[in-house]
Chain A
Amino acid sequence: MNPSLKLFLILFLSLELTFTNKLWVNIIVITVCLVLLIHYHFRWQQFCWLIFIPLFPAIAIFTTIVLFSPGHSLFYGLVLFSRLYMYVSLGTIFTFTTNPLALARSLEQNCHLPSKYAYGVLAALNLIPKMKQAVTTIYIAGQMRGVTLHWWSPTLYFKAILVALQWSDQLAQAMESHGFVEGQARTRTINIPITARDWVITSTLIILIQIIVIALP
């Protein structure tokens, strides 16, 4: 499916369901996402993370509503509990099935997003391994001066930001030296079209959700 249209669909669903109070929609969306994830060979460790990470905030919201809200409503507790999982499932299915480069290309071609944003973000993502190394250097520089830095030390963040600023400049130079000029037309290695099939899938899903929202409790 076209990455931009997929992104639009996910955002649309999340936004719409924010303004509903239906339990079944959430459960159906979560189930569909899980089935799709299994289909795309999501690993079981990843499933564990998917369940574990939202668990504490979800329980916190659930108990707040059920125990401390005026109505003590079990139904609204469950709605909010499942809603959190719905957001996480939608986000997971999107990131797991979308290649960042394909998304950047699609946003550039289909949504006419300025290429400096599309590729700027992509370049930043690709810097993550180098960032890890830089953080190690900061820790050791600290220890050599008799300072033990912890993950909460402001110095660590101050230094990391300085490094990032320096890299942003180097990255700009690198992109420029590879022919990138802001606002200049670019050609395409791969055309990423929005096909009739993409439109059909998107509109069908949206209509389906409307029916479910209206029909189910």
Chain B
Amino acid sequence: MEKILFNNLSFAFDKQPILENINAEFKSGKIHLLTGISGSGKSTLLKLIAGLLPKHGGKITTGTVSISTNGRIGMLFQDPLMQFALDTPRHELEFTLENCQVPSAEIDSRVKNALQFGKVEALANQLISTLSGGQQQRVALSVVMAMQPSILLLDEPFANVDEENRQLILAQLLKINQENHTTIIITDHDLHGYQKLNPLVWQLKNRQISTLSASQRRKVLQDNRSSIKTSLPPATSLSIINFTKLSLKQGDKTLLTPASLALLKNKATLLTGPNGIGKSTLLKAIAKLVKYQGTITYNNQNIQKISPRKYYQQLGLIFQHANDQFLNVTVGEELNLSRKNGHNPYFTSRQIQQALAELDLAGREEQVIYSLSGGQKKKLQILLMLMMGQEVLLFDEPFTGLDQDSLKTVLKLITASRKIYPQTLLIISHQLNGLDEFIDYHLEMNHQQLKYCGGNS
């Protein structure tokens, strides 16, 4: 008999607890939907079921997780490109089926069926690195389905998949669940379209798991967006970055149809929208990291005509992955670099010491950055970039992995710094709690459109 049972399980990464006292039994043959904000431990939970953790890092501090199944466990990862070992979808499928010891004579037909499942027949022989994120995700789904798993774990499977394919795949999932009694556990931020699967809904919050009652479930499946109150920007205000007929693409998928819009100088603008809609790509376009169509100007100058060295003195990007930001080995070396090259007048030596103390980073100068916890890295990263003192700072999910207290401290620090040295901020965040006071305007990206929301509308 199949069983997925968590018994008082706690799990920690680098001494930072991710899950605490999880008690849950995922009933076999059902569809389970696991919700929760970014960094709440959804992926960790799936990887524990798949047996990838604690084998590849982290530690179970208490309790057990017991999985028993007669079949295979198939898992789809969040980062689409990071789950292929071979060059083309066909080769990856063949590799997988060989691993599963499928007899040679059956491999061809299983490959064909799997390609049909993910609607990727036409892409079978293309290089995976040339496919868009959504296409890669569909290929990954095909590969997992080819394994004919009895337990199917899907980590944000639709992050980059467009609406039409999302509906198709959801229907396919329902079909395999009904026909083969496959246990399916899905994590997702965006919950629309799941009603027809009639899933059991679980919520991960503050490292704990709970199952939702029928009425809560109805509510969650309808509306999961916390609202934030802002006003629309006034028509006559000073802008710093302007988009003129800006459009964005990823592979052959359109992320943004031509939009013209302004970002206001010295204001904090929040950017929200479903996963995979193109928010990070928009930030990367502004930071000249990806190609785009149309024009982006900075202080009325086309950004393509500003030399990189000059441009990045005026515009900083806080990367989604904190590790991307660091250049040195120890905390002290990083601080010295920002002290030397930075020009934010707020950060005098005294202020830096105070900020370090408040962020709980004081006395760690000798520590190797990569041994800091996720939250500490995030705090250090934000501090280092604030010290640099660019006119514009773009934040890509800066608050993931920060607890409520740390978040408050970080917001307080940014606010204090902006009083002395005003900066323009553009912030992508799924985490909206506590941002009400902090945010001036709110941009929403959805259905390939970008628009300000708020006011009385």
Contacts and interface: CB of A to CB of B under 8 A. Distances in A.
B317 interface: yes
A176 interface: yes
B126 to A, nearest CB: 13
A171 interface: yes
- With most chain B CB atoms within 10 A of its CB, the pick from A123, A169, A178 is A178
Interface in B120-165: 128-129, 143-144, 147
B325 A136 contact: no
Given A146-B342, A166-B323, 17 more contacts: A101-B91, A119-B86, A126-B85, A137-B319, A144-B317, A144-B385, A145-B327, A145-B337, A146-B313, A155-B328, A174-B77, A174-B84, A175-B85, A176-B52, A178-B83, A179-B147, A180-B99
Given A137-B319, A143-B312, A178 B390 contact: no
Interface of B: 47, 50, 52, 56-57, 72, 74-75, 77, 79, 81-87, 91-92, 94-104, 107-108, 128-129, 143-144, 147, 287, 289, 308-309, 312-313, 315-317, 319, 323-329, 337-338, 340-342, 370, 384-385, 388, 390
B85 A177 contact: no
A187 B85 contact: no
6 contacts: A123-B85, A148-B309, A170-B79, A177-B52, A178-B92, A186-B98
Given A137-B319, A178-B85, A145 B341 contact: yes
A69 interface: no
A189 interface: yes
A123 B86 contact: yes
Nearest to A170: B82
A162 B370 contact: yes
Contacts of A126: 84-87, 128-129
**Secondary structure at chain B's binding surface: helix, strand, loop or mixed?**
helix
Contact of A179 (B84, B96, B325, B385): B96
A176 B108 CA distance: 22
A172 B316 CA distance: 33
B327 A142 contact: yes
Interface string A150-164: 000001001100100
Contacts of B91: 101
Given A129-B129, A136-B289, A140-B312, A174 B83 contact: yes
Interface in A105-145: 119, 122-123, 126, 129-130, 136-138, 140-145
A186 B94 CA distance: 11
Interface residues of A, number: 45
A75 interface: no
B136 to A, nearest CB: 12
Contacts of B47: 173
Nearest to B47: A173
Nearest to B316: A144
A191 interface: yes
A170 B316 CA distance: 28
Contacts of B57: 169
A169 B56 contact: yes
Nearest to B79: A170
Contacts of B388: 144-146
A140 B287 contact: yes
A41 B52 CA distance: 46
Nearest to B85: A123
A52 B287 CA distance: 38
A40 interface: no
A164 to B, nearest CB: 13
Contacts of B52: 173, 176-177
A101 B90 CA distance: 12
Nearest to A165: B370
B84 A144 contact: no
Contacts of B143: 178
A162 B287 CA distance: 23
Contacts of B128: 126
A181 B99 contact: yes
Nearest to B307: A143
Nearest to A167: B82
B312 A174 contact: no
A148 B341 CA distance: 12
A141 B94 contact: no
A148 B147 CA distance: 47
Contact of B384 (A130, A145, A166, A180): A145
Given A130-B81, A143-B309, A187-B103, A159 B327 contact: yes
B104 A145 contact: no
Contacts of B390: 144
Contacts of B319: 137, 141
A140 B319 CA distance: 11
A171 to B, nearest CB: 7
